[in-house]
């Protein structure tokens, strides 16, 4: 993650093997993942055009980084 400290950058749990297209959406906050692997699509994204739903399971360490991603990177709809 671009917001990671040097220690977090070298942590093997801080990374997901994603296709370039999905990685782009993830990095920009249009998608994230539940700890169970279910896809979360930002309310500002057009979900039907993504055609995604589940990537698998995550380790406990990955879940911690995903928690940060969901709280700080996933785009929220503005009211």
Buried b (16+ CB within 10 A) or exposed e, 26-64: beebbbbbeeeeeebbbeebeeeeeeeeeeeebeeebeb
Mean pLDDT on 58-76 = 88
Residue pLDDT, tens place only, 28-47: 899 998 888 888 889 888 87
Per-residue model confidence (pLDDT) at position 55: 66
């Amino acid at each position: 993650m671009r917001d990671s400290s040097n220690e977090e950058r070298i942590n093997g749990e801080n990374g997901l093997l994603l296709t370039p297209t999905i990685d782009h959406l993830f990095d920009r906050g249009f998608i994230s993942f539940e700890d169970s692997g279910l896809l979360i699509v930002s309310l500002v994204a057009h979900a039907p055009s993504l055609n995604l739903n589940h990537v698998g399971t995550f380790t406990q360490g990955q879940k911690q980084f995903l928690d940060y991603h969901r709280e700080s990177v996933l785009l929220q709809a503005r009211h």
